[in-house]
Structure formats: C-alpha cells, structure tokens
Amino acid sequence: MAGGMDTGGGKGGKKSLDTSINLTAFIDLMAVTISFLIMTAVWTQIGRLQVSQAGGPSTEEEQQQEEQTKTVQLNLLITPTELRLSADQSAFEPIPLTKDAKGKTDLSKLVARFKELKAQLPDQSAITLQPEDKVRYEDLVRIIDECIGAGLPQVSVSAAMG
C-alpha cells in the first residue's frame, strides 16, 4: 500500500489513495492544442501584408537613387461608384466602377490604365490608395492585388481627403 495516508478510519486506520490516472484525454487535448498553435503561427506568416511607412528616404544613397529614377506621387481615390487616378498635379479621367455577371467589380479598365502608366513611368513602384468609407473591403483588396500585379508593389492606404 504505497502512497497511502492515514485518514483516521477504515480497517486498520488507513484508506488507500492509489488510483490510476487516465492520460488519454490529456494527451488528446495537448495534441489538439499544439496543432492549433502551429497552424496559427503559419497563418499569421501567410497573411502578413508588407507595409512600409510613408516618408522621405533616410540615407543619402537612397536620396541619390530617387533623384536618378523618375517617379511621381500616384494617388488612387476609390469611391463606391468610380476610381480617380492622379499623378502629382495631373488627374486622369475617372474610371466608373461596374459589376460583371458574377456581381464582382470589373477592374479591367483600371488594369489597362496601369499598363499605360507603367509604359510612361517604368521606374514607378509606389501608389497610395484613398478609399472612402463606403467602399467594400473585398473591392479594396482586389484593387491592391491589381496594383501589385501591375508592377506597383509599394501600396499604401490612407484616408480619402475630400
């Protein structure tokens, strides 16, 4: 009777406290918890969006490289009904947003405009998106994907002004 303790009653004054512990439930719980933690770590790495802070170059080398390449400040104002692309002080004709047969926003005109822009400014890699509050999140994500696909990987999002 190893592990017994005197409880003051029973035959001989001792009651046995030896029990067998069922570890199956505990092992199952730990296996599920560990797999959940591993999957969460992987999904946070996959879902990460590369974002950089807007601002001037920090070193002299970056300033010299920026002077050598011709770039402009690209802004894309996104409203629920149209897209307005502007480069520095010049503005392009607004692109009306239409839905295709599946109910998704048709972005083919925007892609064509990006191709024209990249032909004129091959060194351009940054664009600022300015969505209004009523723009659907799905549309914003699709526009970000189109910007990256068109060769503008430095996408920043700011509040719409005006």
The whole-number pLDDT of residue 51 equals: 58
Label residue 30 by pLDDT band (50, 70, 90): very high
pLDDT at 53 over 70: no
The whole-number pLDDT of residue 40 equals: 81
pLDDT at 12 over 70: no
Label residue 86 by pLDDT band (50, 70, 90): confident
Distance between CA atoms of 32 and 52, rounded to whole angstroms? 36
Q: What is the pTM of this model?
A: 0.56
List, for residues 105-160, the tens digit of each pLDDT value: 888 888 898 898 888 888 888 888 999 988 888 888 999 998 888 888 888 888 87
Annotation: CATH topology of 72-155: Nucleotidyltransferase; domain 5 (3.30.420)
